Amino acid sequence: MSLYLGIDLGGTHIKTGIVTDRGKLIDTESIATPLGGSGAELARAMRQVNDRLLERQELTLDDIESIGVGSPGIVDTQTDSVIFAGNLRFRHEPLGAEVSQVHDGKPVRLVNDGNAAAYGESIVGSGRGASSLVMITLGTGIGGGIIINGHIITGYAYGGAELGHMVIDLDGRHCTCGRRGCFETYASATGLILTTQDYMRNHPETIMWALCGQSLGGVSGRTAFDAAREGDPGGKAVVNLYIHHLAVGLGNIVNSIEPEILCLGGGVSHQGDFLLNPLREAVYAELIPGTVEKTRIVQASLGNDAGIIGAALSEVWTEHSSTTVV
């Protein structure tokens, strides 16, 4: 059995895990992300947390085949560098080499974090056994990835698969990317909160005010769903509008890629069938006539572990699966 380290580099925490070649996560550990840290500082924090994890499992770096790192931003997987990551203030950061250097020269692969999570789901999660999968993570923004025949689809120069930044409203909400009306400004948890607040301003009677402590600042991605489950017309209206926004974006994805599995992760996806049942119907209504409704829309099954497992095994499994690709 070969062992790998998978690291999920997040804005607040660096999470790391030991993963077997079968995709089993043995143990995990985390450390606060050094704020504003350079690539070298982040790499040293990774070494620190990995040492803690390995020691607990009575292992050393010698027992590890290689290390995979899932990073936010646009990642060049040939040079293992981060081309651009706004949150980390990285431009052309050779993070893979920096991580390798502090890990005694171990081979290190760098992959986009959304792609890593999609890869994890595709090999041992909700897409296990499927030929293609698109994962959409409904969090602060919208992350995601496209996996086809075991390959992560990143585009010609790694700038592709930015599924959260397809425009669904030409004159819509301003997005952090500079465009207007991006999918993520409506369908992320942040977008849902904005939609909820907009509705509440015009509807003092909705029970959503009571659910959020009479303050718009108390609104969360759960407020409208909680109200809808209690039968509140306002909650239902917001949830229906949210499902419409989500379905238009997901419909675009099915119309352009038609994956076997469309899997939803992130906080909002925890609404389960209460969201998924009406959502499936709404997405299928967006498909071009004649499309057979074969894409299965499911909830992600690995939670936060997907990114660790996917980062640890991305290239390993891609190499194996490449034998089946023409």
Of 120 and 191, the one with the shorter C-beta distance to Zn ion is 191
Tokens 């039968």 -> residue: 231
User: Using the rule CB under 5 A, is 74 a contact of Zn ion?
Assistant: no
Of 96 and 145, the one with the shorter C-beta distance to Zn ion is 145
> Rounded distance, CA 255 to CA 308, Å?
30
Piece of 24-32, 39-47, 169-177, 246-254 that binds Zn ion (CB under 5 A): 169-177
User: Using the rule CB under 5 A, is 166 a contact of Zn ion?
Assistant: no
Count of chain residues binding Zn ion (CB under 5 A): 5
SS3 letters across 90-134? EEEECHHHHHHHHCCCCCEEEEEHHHHHHHHHHHHCCCCCCCEEE
Piece of 78-86, 108-116, 137-145, 181-189 that binds Zn ion (CB under 5 A): 181-189
Piece of 30-38, 86-94, 175-183, 243-251 that binds Zn ion (CB under 5 A): 175-183
> Rounded distance, CA 64 to CA 316, Å?
13
Can you tell me which of 99, 134, 136, 175 binds Zn ion, judged by CB under 5 A?
175
User: Using the rule CB under 5 A, is 177 a contact of Zn ion?
Assistant: yes
Among candidate residues 221, 240, 313, 254, the one with its CA nearest the CA of residue 21? 313
Of 141 and 234, the one with the shorter C-beta distance to Zn ion is 141
Is 157 buried (19+), middle (13-18) or exposed (0-12) by CB count in 10 A? Answer: exposed
Can you tell me which of 13, 47, 106, 165 binds Zn ion, judged by CB under 5 A?
165
Of 187 and 219, the one with the shorter C-beta distance to Zn ion is 187
Of 178 and 204, the one with the shorter C-beta distance to Zn ion is 178
Which residues are within 8 A (CB) of 62 and not within 5 positions of it... i.e. 6 or more apart? none
| Beta carbon of residue 289, minimum distance to Zn ion (angstroms, whole number) | 29
Piece of 80-88, 160-168, 232-240, 283-291 that binds Zn ion (CB under 5 A): 160-168
* C-beta of residue 300 within 8 angstroms of C-beta of residue 114: no
Of 85 and 311, the one with the shorter C-beta distance to Zn ion is 85
Q: What is the DSSP letter of 80?
A: T
Residue 219's φ and ψ, nearest 5 degrees, are: -70, 135
> Rounded distance, CA 143 to CA 137, Å?
5
CA 316 to each of CA 23, 168, 289: distance values in angstroms, whole numbers, following the listed order: 11, 36, 39
Piece of 79-87, 178-186, 267-275, 284-292 that binds Zn ion (CB under 5 A): 178-186
Residues 306-325 that bind Zn ion (CB under 5 A): none
| Beta carbon of residue 121, minimum distance to Zn ion (angstroms, whole number) | 23
Of 23 and 139, the one with the shorter C-beta distance to Zn ion is 139
Of 110 and 182, the one with the shorter C-beta distance to Zn ion is 182
Q: What are the structure tokens assigned to 287, written together?
A: 């498909």
Of 153 and 177, the one with the shorter C-beta distance to Zn ion is 177
| Beta carbon of residue 102, minimum distance to Zn ion (angstroms, whole number) | 34
Element holding 71 (H helix, E strand): strand 64-71
Which residues are within 8 A (CB) of 280 and not within 5 positions of it... i.e. 6 or more apart? 297
Can you tell me which of 42, 74, 182, 193 binds Zn ion, judged by CB under 5 A?
182
Residues 257-316 that bind Zn ion (CB under 5 A): none
Chain residues in the site for Zn ion (CB under 5 A):
165, 175, 177, 179, 182
